[in-house]
Amino acid sequence: MQRPRVVDIHCHFYPQEYLHELASGRGAVSAQWSQGGEAIIHYAGDYNVVVPAHWDPEVRLQEMDREGVDLHVLSLTTPGVHIEEAQRGRDLARLVNSCFLELCRKFPDRFAALAAIPWQDPNAAADELRWAAKEGLAGVMLFSNINGNYPDHPDIAGVLQEAARLKMPVFLHPATPPDPAPYEVHRLVPLLGFPFDTTLAVVRLLFSGSWPANLRLIVAHLGGTIPYLAERLDRGWRAYGELYPKSRTMPSSLLAQLYYDTVNFAPEALRLALDFCGSQRLLFGSDYPHQIGSMAGALRAVHQLALLPTQRRQVLGENALHLLRMSLH
């Protein structure tokens, strides 16, 4: 029997050209290279250790083949281009997206990519979104907050409307919370700040009444805490009358229509999410090649779930291919 096709919706890539730009020291983010091919990217509240698999497609392909992963949907991870001055953000977005397109065209059956967007400039963000859609990028990357503004902010919500119109899936990835001070010990920015900020971003958009119709939203890290807190949001929606004028749909009903990646490697957590949204809304993800990510760990967690063969195929790849309107040969 042929094994299910595996599509990793949550994995990150830094084009070398982008890393060299960071190393130039001209912007808000710095990168320092070591002789071993690793780099450290420093930004407000946190840092990333960059290994060769972050920027070398050949290394990545070897590891994908070893783990049995067919397709990586590449995205530029934190800190994103939105923390830069507007013009530099625009330039970096186009640089990254052009590199992504080149890589996807070279390996069309192994790589797809999500566009980097200069969210700090709404007009430029919409322009880059339209360009990315025209050129064939698979979706767009949104961070949980854009320099302190959440997706319910009119500037961001307007670009999301355009993404919905273009039928471009939006991948919501966490960013450093606007006040990182409480998280700046014990690496708490990625451990706690990320899932909390993700939850805050989605719920603010939900209750704002500005949720775009037909928005295809993928929420990273199993939705932060959404599957766990959905019932509490429903209780609040019933109890707090001021929520009714803007949000007329029970929160859990709308939240269950979103897509969630499987970047929580505890089978118990994945089971909760399955009960919450169903196998049609879960997308395999690994957070590779970050220190905290693992293709092997992500696959092991999914295979530990008691799933029907059809459900396993959905989670491992079919849902992502359908959402991204792609096929694998």
Q: Which two tokens stand for residue 171?
A: 């991948």
Q: In a structure prediction context, what are the per-residue pLDDT tens digits for the chain, which is 329 residues long?
A: 578 899 999 999 999 999 988 888 787 887 787 766 678 888 777 788 889 999 999 999 999 999 999 999 999 998 999 999 999 999 999 999 999 999 999 999 999 999 999 999 999 999 999 999 999 999 999 999 999 999 999 999 999 999 999 999 999 999 999 998 899 899 899 899 999 999 999 999 999 888 888 999 999 999 999 999 999 999 999 898 887 667 778 899 999 999 999 999 999 999 999 999 999 999 999 999 999 999 999 999 999 999 999 999 999 999 999 999 865 55
Q: What pLDDT is stored for residue 242 in this prediction?
A: 82
User: Distance between CA 48 and CA 43 in Å, rounded?
Assistant: 9
Cα distances from 220 to residues 64, 65, 92, in angstroms, run 21, 24, 23
Q: What pLDDT is stored for residue 28 in this prediction?
A: 80
**Superfamily covering domain 56-323:** Metal-dependent hydrolases (3.20.20.140)
Per domain, the residue ranges of the chain are: 56-323
Q: What pLDDT is stored for residue 42 in this prediction?
A: 81
Residue 70 bears catalytic tag: no
**Burial (Cβ within 10 Å: 0-12, 13-18, ≥19) of residue 41:** buried
Q: Which residues pair with 115 in a beta bridge?
A: 140
Q: Which two tokens stand for residue 253?
A: 């009903």
Q: What pLDDT is stored for residue 244 in this prediction?
A: 67
Q: What pLDDT is stored for residue 213 in this prediction?
A: 86
Q: Which two tokens stand for residue 12?
A: 């990150």
**Alpha-carbon dihedral 217, 141, 165, 277, rounded to 10 degrees:** -10
Q: Which of 8, 70, 127, 287 is catalytic?
A: 287
Q: What pLDDT is stored for residue 76 in this prediction?
A: 95
